[in-house]
Chain A
Amino acid sequence: DAGITQSPRHKVTETGTPVTLRCHQTENHRYMYWYRQDPGHGLRLIHYSYGVKDTDKGEVSDGYSVSRSKTEDFLLTLESATSSQTSVYFCAIKGLEGTGELFFGEGSRLTVL
């Protein structure tokens, strides 16, 4: 158990509303990631963080922002949700320095109507 908690686990919202997903880790790991998973697309990186207040874009970052004010929390925000952002979102942390292994949360299923 990598000590990763995602909330909420399920959310239904309407187009145009803001949404924030939270990832909380208890392992004090430096690197944290947000991925989205869609049928036929595997997992695609949205944003990642390499320390408090240090974040960078991934391959599908448009329409998303992130914040990391504490080591243990990494927030993903959809400022104005669209139907194309209906997906399952996974938070991950990287294992010990240099290993490359990722530990994933249980996922947050978001539906935008």
Chain B
Amino acid sequence: GENVEQHPSTLSVQEGDSAVIKCTYSDSASNYFPWYKQELGKGPQLIIDIRSNVGEKKDQRIAVTLNKTAKHFSLHITETQPEDSAVYFCAPTIRNTNAGKSTFGDGTTLTVKP
């Protein structure tokens, strides 16, 4: 099965600084690379994703970069704000299989200090 490693497991930054979380996966068949944000007491929610034919995608303060050769992708958050504090999960996915198999990383707890 897919082996997913996410680093760091915790990250503390000052408001306004940047944060980077890296996800390494093992299955070269993975072709969809989402990042989910989970706030306390809620279910995870997609914040950005990228497909295997694209190297980078940006949405305002967040971006995702993909290196398929090295099998890793990263979440970048710029100008962090206290509301960015949450747990973030990567979930490399093999789409177009029967149900689209997603394997989640163990999560990164991001704390943004005001």
Contacts and interface: CB of A to CB of B under 8 A. Distances in A.
8 contacts: A42-B104, A59-B1, A94-B99, A99-B95, A100-B34, A100-B95, A101-B34, A101-B46
B89 interface: yes
Interface in B20-51: 32, 34, 36, 41-46, 49
Interface of B: 1, 6, 32, 34, 36, 41-46, 49, 89, 91, 93, 95-96, 98-102, 104-107
A27 B1 CA distance: 30
A92 B101 CA distance: 13
Interface string A63-93: 0000000000000000000000000001010
Q: Which 3 A-B pairs have the closest CB atoms?
A: A104-B43, A100-B32, A42-B104
Interface of A: 31, 33, 35, 40-45, 48, 50, 56, 59, 90, 92, 94, 98-107
Contacts, number: 61
A105 B99 contact: no
Contacts of B89: 42-43
A42 B107 contact: yes
Most chain A C-beta atoms within 10 Å of own C-beta, residue among B46, B96, B102? B102
B49 A100 contact: yes
A41 B106 CA distance: 5
Given A31-B99, A41-B106, A43-B104, A100 B43 contact: no
B99 A33 contact: yes
